[in-house]
Amino acid sequence: MAKAIKKQVLGRGLSALLNDPKPDFSSESSPGPQALAGQIVSLELDLIQTNPFQPRTHFNETALKELAASIKELGVIQPITVRKTSDNGFQLVSGERRFRASKLIGLKHIPAYIRTANDQELLEMALVENIQRQDLDPIEIALSYQRLIEEINLTQEALSDRVGKERSTVTNYLRLLKLDPIIQTGIRDGYISMGHGRALISVASHEQQLAIYRKIIKDHLSVREVEALVRVLDDSSASPKRSKSKNTADYQTEQNNLKDYLSSPVRISSKPNGSGQILISFKNKDELDHVLKRIKSED
């Protein structure tokens, strides 16, 4: 008997702590967004709409069923976050997996934290919250970064601060979006890694990218093997004049490392006598200041 009671309490999860009666949000006299902000209440799942700004496009069915089994046993441990809409409904801010899993096992109510947010704030919260998760694929992360830059008007510097990542890390993800869409899909589906994708970015032709992509899958090439293959491709396409001197392909690793560290395009070239130059490009004063700051940090 004691075990049964304990299981019943555990199975209620966070709902066991919510002793207030379930509020009625169906009437016109229901509380407004400001009155509800900051509260945790038990909401009807049917009143909640999914987030239209959700960056996650794929939900693993197996993982979702495992979460549903956990919720059935222990209840919802962490409340979802919602905002109140004008039609007396609610919209998810975060927690869509918990929301889906709860519906999967037929729950009628779910603990929810209510906060106020406009569309831009909702988009930013959804993107940043999901970026922090470990199970997003590299392309989903890259698309989330791109949306934050374009729709929230963030610079790469501001974005790196907002998501707690190095600017070079943000840049590496964004560069993946330059790949052919078929290759992006291959990264999303796990056929190749982000490292493979980064090695292919320097190949300008999408046809050549796809040819190497098919070879990666067919021959199970490692990232290092792909980098070597791309260097050979660069060498074969170099002009006769450049072939007389040591060209940038010979410095590909150093060039990529420097580019990642400075978060700016870098070109290294040398002459037969061993002398050469490093060319660092920048688009504006902010990027120049960032490059100089990174260089000075090595002093």
Q: Which residues are catalytic?
A: 96
Quick one: how many helices (H) and strands (E) in the chain? 15, 7
The C-alpha atoms of residue 193 and residue 197 are separated, in whole angstroms, by 6
Please tell me the number of Cα atoms within 13 Å of 42 on its side-chain side.
Answer: 17
Give CA angle at 276 (245, 259), nearest 5°.
Answer: 105
The total number of residues shown for the chain amounts to 299
CA distances from 268 to 79, 194, 214, 248, 281 (A): 53, 24, 30, 5, 12
Burial 227-252 (b: 16+ CB within 10 A, else e): bebbbebbeeeeeeeeeeebbbbbbb
* Residue 43, strand partner residues: 110
- Whole-number CA gyration radius for the chain: 26
Look at strands 80-84 and 90-94 and give their pairing.
antiparallel
